[in-house]
Amino acid sequence: MTDTSSGPDLLTSKEFKALSNRELHVLLGEINTSIKTSAIPRHWTDSFLVPIPKPGKDHRTLAGHRVITVQNAGGKLVEGLVSRSLAATLEPQLPGSMGAYRRGRATWLNVGQVAHLITEAFEAKQHVLTVSLDLQDAYNMVSVPLLARNLLDSGVNPYLVRWILAAFQSRRCALKCGRWLSEWTNVMMALPQGSPLSPVCFNAYTLPIATMTLPPSMQLFTFADDLLLVATGKSLDLLQIRMQETLDSLDTICQRASMTVNPAKASACVFSLSKRALPPCQLRYAGRPIPSEDSVTHLGITLDKGLSFNTHVEKVVSSCTRSLGVLKMAKRKGVNQARLLQLYRSLVQSRLLYGAEVITATASALEKLDRVQTAALRIVTGCTRDTARATLRYMANLQSVPQQVETLRVMAVARALESHEHPLHEVARGLVTRPPLRRLRRAGWLRRASDTLRELRGRHQFRSRPQFEPTPDGVAELWTIISQHSLGRSCREWPPGVANVEFESLLEELMAEGDALLATDGSVIREPLPRSGWGCFIRSAELTQSVSGATRLVLSSMRAETEAVTVGLSALNQLLPDCQHIVVATDSQSLLRKLEGGVSPPEWWTDRRITWLYCPGHAGVEVNEKADRLAGNGAPATSRIVLSASDFQQLLKFKMETDDARKPNPGEAEVGRMARVGLRPGWIARSGLCGPRGRMACQLACGTVSRRTLADICTLGGAETAWRRIFGSRSVDEAVAEE
């Protein structure tokens, strides 16, 4: 359950999360009884209707407001459980072109598929014709009997179908505006707004539209009530004929489903690199002409006819520039820098980077987005206009916008490679494994990301499934995780040998005859030569064995530790196949927290009992010290590993940092000075500084001081006095904690 506003019962998700096991069993019994009998308690479906003013509209009328539904938390919990079961049943039947309300599907993904089709058509010297349609008043036009028939035909449990219909028909609402509350009214509606069931049921209802028969070289992408028809071919006249036939068929299907298309939101657009003027499209839907446009905006991303994304960038810059006023107002109200940075991430950065995965804009267009980020960081920090961008990004621990765009693009394709259910999985795998045979005129977002992944991979392999997956119940029952015990990080201060004795006594309590100990450790070195190593030390009554490996890649510390565990468990399977209990000693608390969270690498799933034990690193524990030496110097960096999406993120970050270090970088001296005095990247996000004090701290740290700040410094007695008053003579982390 997410933390949302409370409904008429005033209960919140926190109160449900605080229920005891006994209370949860009682609640579960009540839910099961309701599903069997279709008797729904009234307090589950009561809701408030809250009008929210729309920006730029007339707020004296209802049309100038967006009405949202605030349902009771208990009812949303039950409907959420039912919707998950319903979604699991429907998922295998939904096409890849249906993008809304599906687990693991980002909003921009449909636009990403369309952008890839357009760029591939450009390479084949073809035209692309798109028609954008919008279903009018979609939820209210749903036919409940037809919905029930579609659910039953899709194999949904009849008990669930009956319960869903009862939940839709037993609803009470009251309009709430401030403290005023209207009378309660029984509402009969098709798909109620705000219900977790409505989006999943709408997918089932529109399934005949999403799976309609289409001519060759044509696809239909659906996202809730937004439809986008895409046709590719060399002859624009033939494309219009096929598109008109498809529109006529779509009109027939919509009439059967009691759905209508909003004619005011319909538009057609031709994408082409042809230098000749193309005639306007002569398309009609239900007898009404469809206007031709130079661009199409689908799911918040504007695609122009040349796919340059210049129009989209201009819209984003305009929207984000208006949001900077909120940052300025919050700063005048005395909001501290940490909160201002959070406000920037939610209001500005989210808009800057929405759909960035598919944007293949020019460097000058991305520079416009980067200038917006720089302006926002100047507002947050209070630094002057001549402060270098690298300095501002260091203080906020942010990359430049072009770097963030490339990272998002590469990560999107890397995740597509890991998921076989991803609609772009096969396309991405083909592009990554086979480079283009000729130079492309304009590479799309998928090809650009594939080229980067191929460069980062080198001679290593791509992972074909997620690195961490939910641990099966049968495996989790065999595992014991001990992350907290008598030996903590403080034992590093103990006299030599004491921590080792304590750890060995702990092992004696956990291990019996025939058990094996696996001590693991990982090591990551960035300079002078990048190297990631892993080592594991195996000890049992029968043998002792050391295994290690390394590669010339810069991985994360936890990834190196994960590789050590994988290599160690594989070696144990060969050396001690009959061993039934393994104690894995690791110094990675991050890895143990992953296991406690219920996820683990599939390579670790076995029918043996495993005890995961925290072993403090650099505390003098002999088995850990042996594993540490093996990870650091145990093997030449020649191992080949399987790289996951998180590995590519780490590799790309290191590559960008290396490239930046080779180029002239304004602000490099200021960044080095901040690092020397203990100011780590993103230090303003951990501070409570605000107002003149925060402005003075940032300007002193970066070395560019305004006249106003200079006057404040002189009033305090000079720069050294001002620095000590803000940060003290200790490291900045201690000073920030004190603030």
Among left, alpha and beta (phi > 0; psi -120 to 50; other), residue 324 is: alpha
Question: Considering only CA atoms, which of 621, 586, 587 is closest in space to residue 500?
Answer: 621
Q: Are 171 and 130 part of one and the same domain? A: yes
Q: What is the mean pLDDT of residues 245-267?
A: 91
pLDDT at 278: 78
pLDDT at 726: 82
**pLDDT tops 60 at residue 432:** yes
CATH of the domain at 542: 3.30.420.10
Q: Are 201 and 121 part of one and the same domain? A: yes
* Domain presence at residue 284: yes
pLDDT at 291: 93
**pLDDT tops 70 at residue 109:** yes
Choose one of 643, 678, 697: the last residue of a domain. 643
What is the distance between the alpha carbons of residues 552 and 548, in angstroms, rounded to a whole number?
14
Long-range contacts of 593-599 (CB under 8 A, 24+ apart): 593/483, 594/468, 594/558, 595/471, 595/479, 595/481, 596/481, 596/483, 598/470, 598/471, 598/476, 599/468, 599/469, 599/470, 599/471
Range list of β-strands (E), 6-106: 46-53, 65-71
* Domain presence at residue 264: yes
Tell me how long the chain is. Answer: 739
* Domain presence at residue 186: yes
pLDDT range class, residue 152, cuts 50, 70, 90: very high
Helix (H) or strand (E) holding 144: helix 144-153
Q: Are 629 and 676 part of one and the same domain? A: no
Question: Considering only CA atoms, which of 410, 381, 409 is closest in space to residue 393?
Answer: 381
Q: What is the mean pLDDT of residues 516-535?
A: 91
- Residues 193-212: tens digit of each pLDDT: 778 899 999 999 999 999 99
Q: Are 563 and 686 part of one and the same domain? A: no
Question: Considering only CA atoms, which of 243, 227, 50, 48 is closest in space to residue 138?
Answer: 227
pLDDT at 736: 44
Q: Are 487 and 572 part of one and the same domain? A: yes
Residue in the structure block whose two tokens are 């994408």: 271
Q: What percent of the chain has pLDDT over 90?
A: 58
Mean per-residue pLDDT over the chain, rounded? 89
pLDDT range class, residue 490, cuts 50, 70, 90: confident
pLDDT at 440: 61
Range of the domain at 730: 668-738
Question: Considering only CA atoms, which of 90, 208, 101 is closest in space to residue 157?
Answer: 90
Choose one of 280, 303, 326: the last residue of a domain. 303
Give bridge partners of residue 549 from the DSSP assignment.
534
What is the distance between the alpha carbons of residues 519 and 584, in angstroms, rounded to a whole number?
6
* Domain presence at residue 340: no
pLDDT range class, residue 2, cuts 50, 70, 90: low
What is the distance between the alpha carbons of residues 421 and 688, in angstroms, rounded to a whole number?
44
Note if the bond before 636 is cis, omega within 30 degrees: no
Q: Are 573 and 712 part of one and the same domain? A: no
What is the distance between the alpha carbons of residues 631 and 561, in angstroms, rounded to a whole number?
9
What is the distance between the alpha carbons of residues 269 and 306, in angstroms, rounded to a whole number?
11
Is the separation of the CB atoms in 263 and 226 below 8 Å?
no
Is the separation of the CB atoms in 532 and 522 below 8 Å?
yes
pLDDT at 735: 43
Q: Are 22 and 144 part of one and the same domain? A: yes
DSSP single-letter state for residue 492: G
The CA–CA distances, whole Å, from 151 to 70, 203, 210 equal 26, 10, 15
Among left, alpha and beta (phi > 0; psi -120 to 50; other), residue 75 is: alpha
Residue in the structure block whose two tokens are 């200021």: 670
- Give the lowest-confidence range in 136-145, 248-257, 509-518, 599-608: 136-145
Q: Are 633 and 704 part of one and the same domain? A: no
- Residues 57-89: tens digit of each pLDDT: 888 887 888 888 888 888 888 888 999 999 999
pLDDT at 1: 57
pLDDT at 737: 45
Burial class (CB in 10 A: 0-12, 13-18, 19+), 197: buried
Q: Tokens for 411?
A: 């990560």
DSSP single-letter state for residue 604: G
Is the separation of the CB atoms in 265 and 298 below 8 Å?
no
Q: Tokens for 463?
A: 């992972």
pLDDT range class, residue 373, cuts 50, 70, 90: very high
Q: Are 39 and 95 part of one and the same domain? A: yes
DSSP single-letter state for residue 317: H
pLDDT range class, residue 438, cuts 50, 70, 90: low
Is the separation of the CB atoms in 300 and 311 below 8 Å?
no
* Domain presence at residue 219: yes
Question: Considering only CA atoms, which of 489, 561, 483 is closest in space to residue 522?
Answer: 561
Q: Tokens for 710?
A: 């200079």
Question: Considering only CA atoms, which of 195, 190, 259 is closest in space to residue 226?
Answer: 259
Contacts of residue 254, defined as CB under 8 A and 6 or more positions apart, other chains included, come to 135, 209, 260, 261
pLDDT range class, residue 158, cuts 50, 70, 90: very high
Choose one of 303, 337, 358: the last residue of a domain. 303
Q: Tokens for 328?
A: 């300025």
pLDDT at 730: 47
How many structural domains comprise the chain?
Answer: 3
CA dihedral 661, 666, 669, 670 (to 10 degrees): -120
Question: Which pTM value belongs to this model?
Answer: 0.88
pLDDT at 639: 84
pLDDT at 739: 41
Question: In this predicted model, which residue has the larger pLDDT, 226 or 5?
Answer: 226
Measured from the Cβ of residue 697, the count of other Cβ atoms closer than 10 Å reads 29
What is the distance between the alpha carbons of residues 538 and 516, in angstroms, rounded to a whole number?
7
pLDDT at 69: 83
Give bridge partners of residue 582 from the DSSP assignment.
516, 610
Give bridge partners of residue 201 from the DSSP assignment.
none
What is the distance between the alpha carbons of residues 493 and 662, in angstroms, rounded to a whole number?
40
Query: At residue 163, what is the residue type?
Result: W
Query: At residue 49, what is the residue type?
Result: L
* Domain presence at residue 356: no
Measured from the Cβ of residue 124, the count of other Cβ atoms closer than 10 Å reads 9
pLDDT at 437: 59
pLDDT at 439: 61
* Domain presence at residue 383: no
Question: Considering only CA atoms, which of 548, 558, 561 is closest in space to residue 639?
Answer: 548
pLDDT at 332: 92
Alpha-helical (H) ranges within 419-556 are 425-433, 445-457, 473-476, 498-510
Question: Considering only CA atoms, which of 563, 519, 550, 515 is closest in space to residue 537?
Answer: 519
The three-state secondary structure class of 210 is helix
- Give the lowest-confidence range in 8-22, 589-603, 722-736: 722-736
Q: Are 589 and 724 part of one and the same domain? A: no
The three-state secondary structure class of 612 is strand
Measured from the Cβ of residue 724, the count of other Cβ atoms closer than 10 Å reads 14
Contacts of residue 106, defined as CB under 8 A and 6 or more positions apart, other chains included, come to 357, 412
Q: Are 175 and 29 part of one and the same domain? A: yes
pLDDT range class, residue 268, cuts 50, 70, 90: very high
Alpha-helical (H) ranges within 477-611 are 498-510, 557-575, 589-596
What is the distance between the alpha carbons of residues 34 and 152, in angstroms, rounded to a whole number?
20
Q: What is the mean pLDDT of residues 278-285?
A: 86
What is the distance between the alpha carbons of residues 433 and 435, in angstroms, rounded to a whole number?
7
How big is the chain by its Cα radius of gyration, in Å? 30
* Domain presence at residue 265: yes
Question: Considering only CA atoms, which of 323, 325, 329 is closest in space to residue 346?
Answer: 323
Is the separation of the CB atoms in 544 and 537 below 8 Å?
yes
Measured from the Cβ of residue 484, the count of other Cβ atoms closer than 10 Å reads 10
**pLDDT tops 70 at residue 284:** yes
What is the distance between the alpha carbons of residues 507 and 502, in angstroms, rounded to a whole number?
9
β-strands 516-525, 46-53: how paired?
A: unpaired
Is the separation of the CB atoms in 83 and 161 below 8 Å?
no
- Give the lowest-confidence range in 120-134, 282-296, 307-321, 485-499: 485-499
What is the distance between the alpha carbons of residues 571 and 257, in angstroms, rounded to a whole number?
60
Is the separation of the CB atoms in 293 and 146 below 8 Å?
no
pLDDT at 733: 44
Q: Are 727 and 584 part of one and the same domain? A: no
